Each structure stands twice: as C-alpha cells, then as structure tokens.
C-alpha cells in the first residue's frame, strides 16, 4: 500500500497493531480490511496475550472515513461494502479473545471515535478531543454508533451525534468513560500503554478471555446490526446533500 499501512509487531506477549495514512490517519477501505485482519490474526496468535491498537505519529489519532473514497462510491452496494469495513473492524475487536489497549495520541473524528470506543481500555493525551461529524455531511454515525453508545452512554452519544460540528475535549471524553486514562504528553501515554500492556501480558489469558466475554455481553447481534447500519450509510452517502457536503469539506482542507 503506497498511501498507508497496517503493521503488527509482537514482543513479549504484546502485539502492537499500528495503522497509518498520510491524510491524518484516515481510513480508506484497504486499511480497514487490513486492520480487521491484523486484529483477527493477533487474536488467534498463541504468542499474543494482549493487543495494543495505535496509529502512527504524534498528530491526529484518526480522521475517520476517507473522503476520497466516499465521493467515489457509485452504488448502494459499493456504499455498504465501504462502511462494512468499519463494521468488520469493530466486530473483530468485539470478538477478539484478548484485551485491546487503545493509544490515542491526538484528535479522533467519526470512525476514529468508533475505534477508540471499541478497544477495551483507552489511554489518551490531553489533546485527544473527539467529534462525530457524520451528520454534518448528511450521513450519521450508524456503524460506529453502537460501540460509542456502549462506552459513553446514550445521552453522551446523542450529544456527540447532534452537535456534529463541534469538538468535545479529551477531559469530556474521560468523564464520559471513553478514555480510561489521560496524560499530558504522547511520551507519558506511551509509558502508560507499555506499563499496562506489559503487566497484562503476564496475567492468566483464560481469565482475561472470560472477562472479555462478560464485558461484551449483549452485543451478540452486532454482526447483523452493523451490517444493516452499513447499508443505511451506504444509501445515504449517495445523496446530493452528502456529495455537496463532502466536496465542501474537501475544499476547506
């Protein structure tokens, strides 16, 4: 992949899955596919006891869906296929037998908020503000919504969804339960991620597996639910409103 990558490194029981895209770590379809595969593979690897999910660099954690790919969608089938990429990543994290630690070093938008919500324990910097911007471009956080709502609650999710143009601070996200820890610098976040992942790698994997089942109880229908949500987004992205809104966002970038 010339415009991004997903890489996995395994060391002393910890698999670090890192993704990168030059457009603020946005998520085109190929990266989504590779992320789902990397998480599934790490989950099945006997050398791995815990997974760290991170993006590259010290800037934005994730800018969400790739606008270039959104405007290139020509049919409902193509739209569902694209948004199913987010569903596949969230479901991979949900069904993974191992704890996933999130490292959020900067701002998260849309699908990036979904990723942060789907990890089991998220550590962020004070600069890691969040925004669900989907409604502003005529769609809605349909696919990531269940993961975000599960983590922050219906009231906070509703506020994020409706107030689609404004950022919520990392402190707000921590108060709502999205972030388990918040630190002043990226270096401090990395130290915290290393500390907890190293500790977890020594814990009983069977106990962690059973705990994870408990944590995600009640989400057994998400394979079907998120597929249905992907179809919703895939239809809406074809609207004239959404096309115009995306092009306006791209023009400002």
Residue-range domain boundaries for the chain: 5-185
Q: What is the dihedral of CA 150, 91, 106, 109, to 10 degrees?
A: -70
| Residue 41: per-residue pLDDT | 98
Q: What is the CATH architecture of 5-185?
A: Alpha-Beta Complex (3.90)
> What share of the chain in percent tops pLDDT 70?
99
Read off the pLDDT of residues 65-119 as tens digits, 9 standing for 90 and up: 988 899 899 999 999 999 999 999 999 999 999 999 999 999 999 999 999 999 9
CB-neighbour burial class of residue 87 (10 A; exposed 0-12, middle 13-18, buried 19+): buried
**What is the rounded average pLDDT for all residues in the chain?**
96
| Residue 253: per-residue pLDDT | 62
| Residue 77: per-residue pLDDT | 97
- Going by DSSP bridges, is the β-strand pair 14-20/50-55 parallel, antiparallel, or unpaired? parallel
Q: What is the dihedral of CA 11, 179, 192, 107, to 10 degrees?
A: 80
Read off the pLDDT of residues 136-194 as tens digits, 9 standing for 90 and up: 999 999 999 999 999 999 999 999 999 999 999 999 999 999 999 999 999 999 999 99
Write down how long the chain is. Answer: 253
Residue 47: pLDDT above 80? Answer: yes
Query: Residue 247's pLDDT band (boundaries 50, 70, 90)?
Result: confident
Characterise 2 by phi-psi region: left (phi > 0), alpha (psi -120 to 50), beta (else).
alpha
Distances (CA, A) of 214 to 94, 113, 141, 209: 11, 23, 25, 9
d(CA 184, CA 128) in angstroms, rounded, equals: 10
| Residue 34: per-residue pLDDT | 98
Q: What is the arithmetic mean of pLDDT over 13-42?
A: 97
- Position of tokens 């994870």? 212
> What share of the chain in percent tops pLDDT 90?
92
């Amino acid at each position: 992949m010339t415009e991004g990558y997903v890489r996995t490194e395994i060391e002393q029981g910890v698999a670090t899955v890192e993704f990168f895209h030059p457009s603020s770590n946005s998520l085109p379809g190929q990266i989504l596919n590779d992320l789902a595969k990397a998480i599934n593979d790490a989950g099945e690897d006997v050398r791995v006891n815990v997974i760290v999910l991170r993006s590259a660099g010290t800037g934005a954690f994730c800018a969400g869906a790739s606008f270039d790919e959104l405007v290139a969608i020509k049919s409902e089938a193509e739209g569902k296929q694209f948004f199913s990429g987010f569903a596949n990543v969230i479901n991979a994290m949900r069904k993974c037998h191992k704890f996933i630690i999130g490292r959020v070093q900067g701002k998260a938008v849309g699908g990036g908020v979904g990723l942060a919500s789907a990890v089991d324990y998220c550590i962020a910097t004070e600069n890691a503000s969040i925004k669900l911007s989907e409604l502003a471009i005529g769609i809605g956080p349909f696919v990531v919504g269940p993961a975000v709502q599960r983590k922050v609650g219906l009231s906070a999710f509703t506020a994020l969804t409706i107030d689609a143009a404004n950022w919520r601070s990392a402190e707000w996200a921590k108060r709502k339960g999205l972030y388990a820890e918040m630190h002043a610098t990226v270096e401090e976040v990395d130290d915290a991620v290393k500390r907890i992942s190293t500790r977890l790698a020594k814990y009983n994997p069977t106990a962690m597996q059973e705990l994870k089942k408990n944590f995600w109880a009640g989400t057994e229908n998400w394979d079907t639910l998120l597929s249905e949500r992907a179809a919703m987004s895939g239809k809406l992205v074809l609207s004239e409103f959404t096309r115009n809104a995306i092009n306006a966002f791209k023009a400002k970038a």
